[in-house]
Structures are given as structure tokens and as C-alpha cells.
Amino acid sequence: MNVETPTEEPLPSPPTASPKGTPLYATLWFQVLVAMALALIVGYISPARAVAMKPLGDAFIRLISMVITLIIFCTVVSGIAGMGDLRKVGRVGGKALLYFEIISTLALLVGLVVGNLVHTGTGFNADPATLNAKEVSAYAGQAKAQTLTDFLMHIIPTTVVDAFAKGDILEVVFVALLFGFALSAAGPRGRPLLNLVESLTQVVFRVVGIVMKFAPIGAFGAMAFTVGKYGFASLGPLAKLILTFYVTSILFVLVVMGGVAWIAGFGIIKFLFYIKEEILLVLATSSSRTALPTLMEKLEKLGCSKSLVGLVVPTGYTFNTDGTSIYMTLAALFVAQATNTHLTLLQQLTILGVAILTSKGASGVQGAAFIALVGTLMVIPDIPVAGMALILGIDRFMSMFRALVNMIGNGVATLVVARWEHELDRQTLQRNLA
């Protein structure tokens, strides 16, 4: 197998990576794990104080969100301009989108099949008229049936600045693609600007290294709020749905992604251990965005070129939402079953088709998947949208695994595309994972 050696300068070592010989208490993953354990204790003993810890989690998420658009812009621009060959850019992008669509559609089908087999909502016999639909209506106001035209128009920001101001990943990627193509076409005249972008990338990742030192505090605040606000008692009535979603998500990662990883030449368990810090962060904050910067660094450290990582990972956060996809079809069937709404095969396929579109862009932002699901259900008048009130209270617990599967899926996708592009061989990948 021919191996292409990336010409880009490597990014700084991931701030989450711990050198050999580092004491256990000094590693980031252990600190985050301890913070989560303390948060569970505080949330159980003193819910009011735990809820008051929410600003700690919000502040950390905002710190990460503050630099994400810059990271995406810089990595995509430098990646495209650094490749030089625009045909390779199109080839990598095409392969990534094809992979995203296949796996995310498979995830939607898995959720649909599991929902029909397990019947998580059967026995609720909920009357939509008695449900508190006020909170759901707030989400419904943000959701609407999205056409293909609406989706495509959403990609284009009103202004360049607006894309960064809103923090919309899809819009930032679009701007970065245009800028990268233009910079590549400029040739030698664009080299000074490319050097500036690459230098800015180095600085931004140094900023991420500083921010990640506060990850345990952010994880504590976010997890304490979740337990204090909703409590373990809220999980009781909906334990079957939550357990089904968790088990389905775990099996999807181990079986489906594990099978893809095996074909690509690496073990999924080793990869999960390699990104353990990112896994804990996503579980604590219920947002896959918190892991995006360090995930990109770790993937490059495995041998993926900076240009490929810069193209695949940001795009995947919009188009490769495997966890969200499982949740949407599974939760849709739960609402229908809980309200005794019979769905025909055609109606279920309609939900599947609409979810293929609405699930895009629902990654990384807390509550976005819930809004997308409301918008999906609105196309089936027989399903009472008020039924979403049944799962609103446990959505935070569901979002933990949604975000986690989304993040893991993007990591696996990047390695698969890198192997597809012959950027790293099987032995190098396995050695680096070990």
C-alpha cells in the first residue's frame, strides 16, 4: 500500500495527551472522572446547590465554543490550500459525504427497527390533552418542516461575519471552503496569507490547551446541574426508553462502527481508549463540541494529515450525526406508542425520509436534536407533538449518549477516509493507537 506522507507541520501535542510517567492524579481523564463522581454525589445530596453549579459548565462550553469557529476556519482553509491538488479536495470531500450518508441513514434504520421490536412506549396510554405542552411549544416555535431548499439556503450565511457570530459550523465550513479554494488558486501570491492562517492555527490550539485545564471544573458544573435539576427519580418512568437508547447506542458503536473499523484495519476498543478524555468530556457536558478541538489533534497525531482532518471532522459534525439519528427514529416511535398512535409502514418511512434531512446540523448543540425531532413529527399530523412533553424531562440524559456517538462516529469516519486515501497504513495506525 502506498503511503502519502503529509507535508504539513504537525499541530502541538494534544493538551489531553499525558506523557508516559505522568502520575494518575495529574492526567486529564482521571481529573474529569473524579469531577463527574463528585458531581453525582453533590447532585444527590444537595440538588439546589448542584443546580447552582450550572454556570461552571456553561462557562467551559462557551470557552470552547469561543474558539471552535476559528479552529474550523483555519484548519479547513489551510487544509485545502495545503493540499494544492483541488481534485484531491473534491475526492476526499466526496468520500466523506458518501460515508456520512450511509452510516447516518443506517443509524436511522437501527432506531426504527429497535423501536418496532422493543415498543418502549407501549403501556403509557398517555392522553395528549392532559400533557403539559407549553414547554414543547417553545421548541415547536423554533422547529419547522425543512425542505431541501431550506437546508441548502441555510448553508449560505447572510454575511461572512454572521457565520462566525452565530457559531454555525455549517456556515463557517462553507465560508472556509470558498476561502480555501480561492487561496489555493492564488498560488505563490497567496503563500504569505496561508502562512498567517497556519500561524493563527498554532496559536488557537495553544488557547485550547489553556482552556482544557478547566475541563474538570466544567465537567463538574455540567454534571452536577443535570443530576440536581432532573434527579435520578425522573429516570424511573422512562427507564425503558433510556436503557434501550443507551444499549442501542453502545451496540451501534461496538458492532457497526467496530465492523467498519475492523475493515479499515484498527480496533474500535483501542480507539475508544485512545479518546477516553474526549468521551468523558462529552458525557459530562452533553455536547460534542467540547471535544472537537482535541479530537482533531489526536486524529492528526495518529497519522491523518492536517488537511484531511480539517475537511472531514468539521463537516462530520453537521452531516455525520449517528447518535442523533438513532435517537430521532427511536423517540418518534416512543411518542407514537405512548399516545396509542398507530403508524403505518408508509408513515414510518416518511419519518425516516424527513429525519435524513432534519438530523443534519443537530450535532454539538444541546437541545438541537429535540428541536429537530419536533420538526420531524410535525410532518405526521397523526402523532401529537404534545407527546414530546413525555421525554422533555429526560432529554438531557439522552443527549449525553447522542453527543457521544456523534463524536465517536466522526473520529472513526476520519480514520476510515484517511485509510481510503492511503494516508496511513494499517501497521502505523495500530502502532500509534497502542
How long, in residues, is the chain? 434
Distance CA 104, CA 14 (A): 28
> How do residues 63-115 score in pLDDT, each as one tens digit?
888 888 888 888 888 877 766 667 777 788 889 889 999 999 999 999 999 99
- Which residue is listed with cell 403509557? 124
How far is 129 from 256, CA to CA, in rounded Å? 40
Q: What is the 3-state secondary structure (H, E, C) of the chain?
A: CCCCCCCCCCCCCCCCCCCCCCCHHHCHHHHHHHHHHHHHHHHHHCHHHHHCCHHHHHHHHHHHHHHHHHHHHHHHHHHHHHHCCHHHHHHHHHHHHHHHHHHHHHHHHHHHHHHHHHCCCCCCCCCHHHCCCHHHHHHHCCCCCCCHHHHHHHHCCCCHHHHHHHCCHHHHHHHHHHHHHHHHHHHHHHHHHHHHHHHHHHHHHHHHHHHHHHHHHHHHHHHHHHHHHHCHHHHCCCHHHHHHHHHHHHHHHHHHHHHHHHHHCCCHHHHHHHCHHHHHHHHHHCCHHHHHHHHHHHHHHCCCCHHHHHHHHHHHHHHCCHHHHHHHHHHHHHHHHHCCCCCCHHHHHHHHHHHHHHCCCCCCCCCHHHHHHHHHHCCCCCCCHHHHHHHHCCHHHHHHHHHHHHHHHHHHHHHHHHHHCCCCCHHHHHHHHC
Amino acid of residue 270: K
What span, in angstroms and rounded, lies between the C-alpha atoms of 227 and 207? 30
Cβ 388 vs Cβ 335: under 8 Å: yes
Q: Side chain identity at 180, as an amino acid letter? A: G
Residue type, position 177, single letter: L
Tell me the angle at which helices 292-301 and 306-319 cross, rounded to the nearest 10 degrees.
Answer: 140
Domains of the chain with bracketed CATH: 24-433 (1.10.3860.10)
Q: What is the pLDDT along the chain (434 residues), one digit of tens a residue?
A: 444 444 444 444 444 445 555 677 777 778 888 888 898 898 888 888 888 988 888 888 888 888 888 888 888 888 777 666 677 777 888 898 899 999 999 999 999 999 999 988 887 777 666 665 555 655 555 555 555 566 667 778 888 888 888 777 778 888 888 888 888 888 788 888 888 888 888 888 888 888 888 888 988 888 888 888 877 766 666 788 889 999 999 999 999 999 999 998 899 999 999 999 899 888 888 888 888 888 988 998 888 888 788 888 888 887 888 998 999 899 889 988 888 888 889 988 888 888 887 777 555 445 567 777 777 777 777 777 777 777 877 777 888 889 899 999 999 999 999 998 888 878 878 888 87
| Cβ–Cβ under 8 Å, residues 43 and 228 | yes
- 151's CB contacts (< 8 A; 6+ apart) are 357, 360, 361
* pLDDT tens digit sequence for 227-237: 888 777 666 66
Q: How many CB atoms lie within 10 A of CB 277?
A: 26
